Structure 1
Amino acid sequence: MAKIWHAALLIRIRDLSSAARVLAEVDELTAARPEAGGGLLAASLLCAADLAFAQGDVATAVDLTGKGVDQAQRTGLHRLLPDAHTVMALSALRQGNMSVSTEFANQLRDWALLGQTAHRPSQCAWAAAQLLEVQGGATSAAQLIVGIVTDDQLLLELLASQPAAAAWLVRATRQLGDQALAQRVVSVACALAARNRGLRSVAAAAMHAAGLLERNPERILAAAASHLDPWATASACEDAGKLFAVRPAERERAVKALESAADAYTNAAAPRDARRVVSRLRSLGVRRGRYPQYVGQDGMTTSELTKTEAAVAELVSQGFTNSQVGERLFISGHTVAFHLKKIFRKMNVASRVELTRAWSQVPSTATGSAKAR
């Protein structure tokens, strides 16, 4: 177990190559000592899932987490489940699978508030906060956001282990209108970086958060170049692009930063975030050839629907209005209505109720790929 802890710490500081080497040693040990039990295998699988997620390989992360959860349940190691579900929830959020995200949000929130996590309560709380924020804005996650930022232990644990957390918390607290909380996040992040000068990921996170607080896109771009986490890099490019975009003379730099963000999100298997950036580029008069793929019902679509139509069907089946669907897919409500007409025709349904019933019967193993958009 000591090697797994070592690998987990390396993942937190994003020394991913070293973490991979340590996990390879664990695999050799597990193969050589089958009597070590299923607990070691479960922990190593979940650590490997964490590594894959940090590398931006979300599909592998989901596969390994599923195997790790099965092993943990067979061996009675239920204390590992909240951390495993955190990886599953964040993976679903990155991929844009909102039905799975919704399923996890309340459970993760309850675990976080009740302290029922094994080793990383802050990350469970952060995952829940991100899910709730996507579903209903920062106000819906206010209790968790404030709880994380005002708790010294939770905040330090989170900032030390998640390179994207500091910037996300600055954005969230500002959306709540609490500049003092945003300043607290930056102060703690910068102090953490000062105490750990050899940790590039911690320094990049502090620089990113400080640049956001100062509204300094140059500093945020420097953080983007220094980040070791692919999603954090994309996030920094997006933040810099948004700040450049409000300066008419900096339009070209805004476009360049946002295009880098869209590419980085796509490479990090985060199509939901990439779509948001593509929409912002469109508002600047820049049209990219194709939208990043949106994951719908268990990542599958019916053979007759395009990717966008599948996304609309998925969200409508969850009860979202056209306007709410548009907000989540970064398209207008009128465009949603246009897609719905085509969906009704292709699926031979006449109402949203019938669509919901039909969509619930689409098997997760459905075959066929959607047509190109």
Structure 2
Amino acid sequence: MDLVRAKIALCDGRIDEAISLCDTGMAVADDPVLASWASIGSMVRAITAMRRGELATMIHHANQIKEDVIFGREGLWGRDTFPWNSPAWLVVQIIEAEKGWEVAVPLARGLLTSESSARGLLLSEPSAASFLVRILLRADDRETAERGRRCAAVLAAENPGIHAIATAALHLEALLERDISLLQQVAASDCDERTRSSANEDIGDLLSESAGGFRQACMHYETAMRSYADAGSPRDSSRVRSKLRRSDAPKTAARFWPSSRISVLTDTEYAVAELVASGLTNAEVGGQMYLSRHTVAFHLRKVFQKVGAKSRIELAVMWKQLTGQDLDVASHG
């Protein structure tokens, strides 16, 4: 059935295919005989809307799922045909997107506190575990997070042929141990695009906390940002972009680039000048330094004033000499 195939495509991170299959399946589900299948379609539509940042659409379909339960159309939510806690997992995602991670903590805790609940969720939505554990670790609830890890490890041992569960167990181990090498294994694994993206984001988070790790963190953030976008999740891509721009421009430049080797130039001015001298446009410089083109142009004007260059070409010609010796501030006013 197209709705089941849509759910599988969604789990694999194939958002566009999931939407297309869901639309086809929902048209068939209009038949009263097949109406109970519409709950799967509502869930797929809610999750795809959330990943695209379409919160109003997400809430609309989430409310449809609630109506299915209230009015007894929950046949496919039973244990025999569909994981009973899938709606709860969807609710956690919706609350986190709409109201923030703090509000989602109690529900996240509930899904991993019970062993049967955790097992059911890991078997149906293996990638859900890392999302829940991140929320719990942010709330300093390591005990419940550890329960999730133990459950994932047991399931991975019981199901050695299910790669998604093994990857989920490895991801939880990496998060709880703050182990970048394990996260790198997840990011390089043959799993779905979304899991690899989240692993790269996790690596970026850990590296950004360490002294001197910001440049490497940015590389992983950029990989995650592109991968989320390719997987049809602009909301996640936007979140990672905000992490790249979290620091103000001078602080970011100071951490990302070497200290100025020319005393009259600030670190930011030095970084801008070095990139311009190497032939980059203002837009390209801005892309590398996470500055707007207007900010780059402002810093470049300051560089011209301080070093006496009248053009980009002149700056490029004189740059090697400038970086080989210090400048006399007085000689350029």
TM-score, normalising length from structure 2?
A: 0.67
Change over 3 Å in CA distance of 1:143–1:283 after alignment to 2? closer
Query: What is the letter of the counterpart of residue 95 of structure 2?
Result: L
Matched, 1:165 2:128: yes
The structural deviation recorded for 1:111 is: 6.3
CA deviation string 1:230-267 (max 9, x = no partner):
11110111011111100122223211111110111011
Give the 5 Å matches for 1:54-73.
54-73=11-30
The structural deviation recorded for 1:141 is: 2.9
The structural deviation recorded for 1:132 is: 0.8
* Secondary structure in 2 matching 1:197: coil
Q: How many percent of aligned residue pairs carry the same amino acid? A: 31
* Secondary structure in 2 matching 1:77: helix
Query: What is the letter of the counterpart of residue 246 of structure 1?
Result: E
1:132 and 1:59 mapped to 2: Cα distance?
24
Query: What is the letter of the counterpart of residue 242 of structure 1?
Result: D
Deviates more, 1:71-80 or 1:222-231: 71-80
Give the 5 Å matches for 1:10-89.
44-89=1-46
* Secondary structure in 2 matching 1:248: coil
The structural deviation recorded for 1:106 is: 4.6
The structural deviation recorded for 1:50 is: 2.0
* Secondary structure in 2 matching 1:61: helix
Query: What is the letter of the counterpart of residue 212 of structure 1?
Result: L
Deviates more, 1:263-272 or 1:199-208: 199-208
The structural deviation recorded for 1:75 is: 4.0
Give the 5 Å matches for 1:52-131.
52-108=9-65, 116=74, 117-118=77-78, 119-131=82-94
CA deviation string 1:147-180 (max 9, x = no partner):
3112323311211232321111101222343221
CA deviation string 1:297-347 (max 9, x = no partner):
xxxxxxxxxxxxxxxxxxxxxxxxxxxxxxxxxxxxxxxxxxxxxxxxxxx
1:195 alignment partner, one of 129, 154, 158: 158
Partner of residue 32, structure 1: none
Gaps of 5+ in 1: 1-43, 288-373
The structural deviation recorded for 1:90 is: 0.7
Partner of residue 338, structure 1: none
Partner of residue 238, structure 1: 201
Matched, 1:211 2:170: no
1:115 and 1:187 mapped to 2: Cα distance?
34
Partner of residue 224, structure 2: 261
Partner of residue 243, structure 2: 280
Change over 3 Å in CA distance of 1:126–1:233 after alignment to 2? same
The structural deviation recorded for 1:210 is: 1.3
Change over 3 Å in CA distance of 1:83–1:280 after alignment to 2? same
> Given that residues 217 and 241 in structure 1 are in contact (C-alpha distance below 8 angstroms), is that contact kept between their aligned partners in structure 2?
no
Deviates more, 1:87-96 or 1:195-204: 195-204
> Given that residues 122 and 155 in structure 1 are in contact (C-alpha distance below 8 angstroms), is that contact kept between their aligned partners in structure 2?
no
Query: What is the letter of the counterpart of residue 123 of structure 2?
Result: A
Query: What is the letter of the counterpart of residue 47 of structure 1?
Result: V
1:112 and 1:250 mapped to 2: Cα distance?
48
Gaps of 5+ in 2: 254-333
Which structure has the larger Rg over C-alpha atoms? Answer: 2
* Secondary structure in 1 matching 2:171: helix
* Secondary structure in 1 matching 2:232: coil
